[in-house]
Chains A and B, each alone.
Chain A
Amino acid sequence: MASVASEKKKQKREKHTLSELKAMGQQLLTSRAHVNNLPLLLSFITPNSPPPYALESLLSLQSFFTPLIPQLPSSSKQPDADPDPEFIYLTWLRSKFDELTQCLTDLAVSSQSDGALREVVLDSIMEFVKVGNAGKFNTSVYHKLLRAIVGLIISSVVRSELGVDDIVLDMLAEKYFNYVDVRYFTCSSFEKLARTLEKEVDKIVFSLTENKEVSQDVNDLVLRPSIELSIQKMYKLLACIQPLKDVEEKLEMWNDSGISSQDKEGKYKKSNDNVLSSKNAAKKMKQKFTKAWISFLSLPLPLDVYKEVLVTLHQSVISHLSNPIMLCDFLTRSYDIGGVVSVMALSSLFILMTQHGLEYPNFYNKLYALLEPSLFMAKHRSKFFQLLDSCLKSSLLPAYLAAAFCKKLSRLALFAPPSGALVIIALVHNLLQRHPSISFLVHREIGPDTTADTSAENNTPDGASKDLFEEKPGIDHFKNEENDPRNTNAMRSSLWEIDTLRHHYSPPVSRFALSLANDLAVRSRIPEIAVSDFSSGSYATIFGDEIRRRVKQVPLAFYKTTPTCLFSELDFPGWTFRDDHQDTSAKRKRVDSV
Chain B
Amino acid sequence: MAKSSSTGSAKKKKSKGKINKKLSSLNSDSKKIKGPKENPFESIWSRRKFNILGKKRKDDERRRIGLSRSLAIQKRQKTLLKEYEQSTNAKRQLKLKKKSKFNLSDGEEDDFEIQGGGYFPERDDFEDDEPFYGDYYDDELPDGRNKRQFNPHEAEGDPDSRSAEEQNRPKTKKEVMEDIIFKSKFFKAQKAKEKEESEQFTEQLDKDFASLVQSEALLSLTQPNKMSALNSLVNNRNSNDAAKKEVAPRMHNKVSIQHEKPDHYDKLVSEMALDMRARPSDRTKAPEELAQEEKERLEQLEEERRKRMAAGDGDDSSNEDADNSEDDVGEVSKQISHISGDDLGDSFSDVIPKTKAVWIDDLLTKNSVTDPEAEDDPTSGEEENDNEEDDDDDDASEDEEGEGSEESSDEDEKAQPLKDSEQSDEEQIDLEDEEDDDRDDATGKKVIMENQKKILVTKGNQNNDSGAFRVKPIVKEDVHKRGELPYTIEAPKCFEEFSALLENYSDDQVVEAIRRIRTYNAIAVAAENRKKMQVFYGILLQYFAVLSSTKPLNFKLINMLVKPLMEMSTETPYFAAICARQRLLRTRTLFCQDISNTGKNCWPSLKTLFHMRLWSMIFPCSDFRHAVMTPAILLMSEYLMRCPITSGRDIAVGSFLCSMLLSVSRQSQKFCPEAITVLQTILRAALTNRQRYEASQLCHLMELKALKPLLHMQERVEDINSLDFLTLMDLPDDSPYFTSDNFRASILCAIIRCLKGFVDINEGFKSFPEIFLPIAKILDGLAEEDLMPDALKVEIKDVSQVIEIKSEEFQSLQLPLRIRKQKVIKTAIPKFEDNFVKGRDYDPDRERVERKKLKKQLQQEARGAVRELRKDNHFLFEVKERDKARMQEEKTEMYGKYRAFLQEQEHAFKSGQLGKNKKRRR
Asked if A and B are interacting partners, one says yes
Taking CB atoms, residues of chain B closer than 8 Å to A521 are 819-821
| A507–B562 touching, CB < 8 Å | no
Given that A414-B673, A580-B727 are known contacts, is A551 also in contact with B581, CB under 8 Å in the complex?
yes
Within the complex, the shortest CB–CB distance from A571 to chain B, in Å, comes to: 4
Residues 544-594 (chain A) with a chain B CB within 8 angstroms: 546-547, 549, 551-552, 554-559, 562-567, 569, 571-582, 584-585, 588-589, 592-593
Residue B876 CB within 8 A of the other chain: no
Please give me the residue from chain B that is nearest to A565 by CB atom.
Answer: B559
| B460–A506 touching, CB < 8 Å | no
Residue B246 CB within 8 A of the other chain: no
| A564–B382 touching, CB < 8 Å | yes
Please give me the residue from chain B that is nearest to A420 by CB atom.
Answer: B673
Please give me the residue from chain B that is nearest to A586 by CB atom.
Answer: B459
Taking CB atoms, residues of chain B closer than 8 Å to A446 are 815-816
| A374–B638 touching, CB < 8 Å | no
| A573–B634 touching, CB < 8 Å | no
Taking CB atoms, residues of chain A closer than 8 Å to B659 are 571-575
| A503–B765 touching, CB < 8 Å | yes
Please give me the residue from chain A that is nearest to B572 by CB atom.
Answer: A554
| A579–B556 touching, CB < 8 Å | yes
Taking CB atoms, residues of chain A closer than 8 Å to B558 are 566
| A575–B552 touching, CB < 8 Å | no
Spot the interface stretch: A47-55, A162-170, A474-482, A526-534.
A474-482
Taking CB atoms, residues of chain B closer than 8 Å to A474 are 810-815
Taking CB atoms, residues of chain B closer than 8 Å to A581 are 552-557
| A563–B727 touching, CB < 8 Å | no
How many Å lie between the Cα of A565 and that of B771 in the bound state? 34
**CB-defined interface of B612-655 with A at 8 Å, one 1/0 digit per residue?**
01100111110111111011011101100110000000000000
Residue A101 CB within 8 A of the other chain: no
Given that A411-B770, A500-B766, A503-B671 are known contacts, is A546 also in contact with B630, CB under 8 Å in the complex?
yes
**CB-defined interface of B650-673 with A at 8 Å, one 1/0 digit per residue?**
000000100110010100011111
Residue A330 CB within 8 A of the other chain: no
How many Å lie between the Cα of A317 and that of B184 in the bound state? 121
Residue B818 CB within 8 A of the other chain: yes
How many Å lie between the Cα of A517 and that of B821 in the bound state? 11
| A417–B674 touching, CB < 8 Å | yes
Taking CB atoms, residues of chain B closer than 8 Å to A588 are 456, 459-460
How many Å lie between the Cα of A412 and that of B585 in the bound state? 29
How many Å lie between the Cα of A542 and that of B752 in the bound state? 30
Residue A445 CB within 8 A of the other chain: yes
Name the prevailing secondary structure of the B interface residues: helix
Residues 724-770 (chain B) with a chain A CB within 8 angstroms: 724-727, 730, 746-747, 749-754, 756-757, 762, 764-770
Taking CB atoms, residues of chain A closer than 8 Å to B898 are none
Residue B563 CB within 8 A of the other chain: yes
Could you say which interface size class chain A belongs to?
35 or more
| B815–A473 touching, CB < 8 Å | yes
Taking CB atoms, residues of chain A closer than 8 Å to B724 are 575-578
| A558–B556 touching, CB < 8 Å | no
Taking CB atoms, residues of chain A closer than 8 Å to B621 are 557
Taking CB atoms, residues of chain A closer than 8 Å to B752 are 574
Within the complex, the shortest CB–CB distance from A212 to chain B, in Å, comes to: 28
Cβ-defined partner of A554 (8 Å) among B628, B633, B817: B628
Within the complex, the shortest CB–CB distance from B671 to chain A, in Å, comes to: 4
Spot the interface stretch: B414-422, B701-709, B913-921.
B701-709
Residue A208 CB within 8 A of the other chain: no
| B703–A373 touching, CB < 8 Å | yes
| B726–A501 touching, CB < 8 Å | no
Given that A520-B819, A539-B641, A557-B620 are known contacts, is A563 also in contact with B562, CB under 8 Å in the complex?
yes
How many Å lie between the Cα of A499 and that of B810 in the bound state? 14
| B750–A507 touching, CB < 8 Å | no
Cβ-defined partner of B701 (8 Å) among A473, A480, A578: A480
Residues 98-144 (chain B) with a chain A CB within 8 angstroms: none
Within the complex, the shortest CB–CB distance from A472 to chain B, in Å, comes to: 6
Taking CB atoms, residues of chain A closer than 8 Å to B90 are none
**CB-defined interface of A440-474 with B at 8 Å, one 1/0 digit per residue?**
11111110000000000000000000000000111
How many Å lie between the Cα of A414 and that of B677 in the bound state? 9
| A573–B754 touching, CB < 8 Å | yes
How many Å lie between the Cα of A373 and that of B702 in the bound state? 8
| A505–B670 touching, CB < 8 Å | yes
| B634–A574 touching, CB < 8 Å | no
Given that A441-B817, A474-B815 are known contacts, is A539 also in contact with B634, CB under 8 Å in the complex?
yes
| A497–B767 touching, CB < 8 Å | yes
How many Å lie between the Cα of A523 and that of B656 in the bound state? 46
Please give me the residue from chain A that is nearest to B672 by CB atom.
Answer: A505
How many Å lie between the Cα of A312 and that of B811 in the bound state? 48
Within the complex, the shortest CB–CB distance from B505 to chain A, in Å, comes to: 15
Given that A540-B592, A581-B554, A585-B459 are known contacts, is A574 also in contact with B749, CB under 8 Å in the complex?
yes
| B563–A573 touching, CB < 8 Å | no
| A500–B634 touching, CB < 8 Å | no
Cβ-defined partner of B555 (8 Å) among A414, A415, A556, A577: A577
Binding site for A on B (CB under 8 A): 382, 456, 459-460, 463-464, 552-560, 562-563, 566-567, 569-570, 573-574, 576-578, 581, 584-585, 588, 592, 610, 613-614, 617-621, 623-628, 630-631, 633-635, 637-638, 641-642, 656, 659-660, 663, 665, 669-674, 676-677, 700-704, 722-727, 730, 746-747, 749-754, 756-757, 762, 764-771, 810-821
Kindly list 7 other residue pairs between chains A and B, CB separation below 8 angstroms, not including A373-B702, A474-B813, A581-B556.
A411-B770, A417-B673, A474-B810, A551-B574, A571-B659, A575-B722, A589-B463
> What would 26 A/B residue contacts be, using CB atoms closer than 8 Å?
A377-B641, A412-B701, A415-B676, A417-B641, A446-B815, A473-B815, A500-B671, A503-B670, A503-B762, A505-B637, A505-B670, A543-B588, A543-B638, A547-B581, A554-B626, A554-B627, A555-B619, A556-B618, A572-B750, A573-B659, A573-B754, A574-B723, A574-B746, A580-B727, A581-B554, A581-B555
Q: A-B pairs with the 10 shortest C-beta distances?
A: A574-B750, A474-B814, A494-B816, A496-B766, A573-B753, A443-B820, A505-B670, A474-B811, A444-B816, A554-B577
Binding site for B on A (CB under 8 A): 372-374, 377, 411-412, 414-418, 421, 439-446, 472-476, 480-481, 493-501, 503-507, 510, 517, 520-523, 539-540, 542-543, 546-547, 549, 551-552, 554-559, 562-567, 569, 571-582, 584-585, 588-589, 592-593
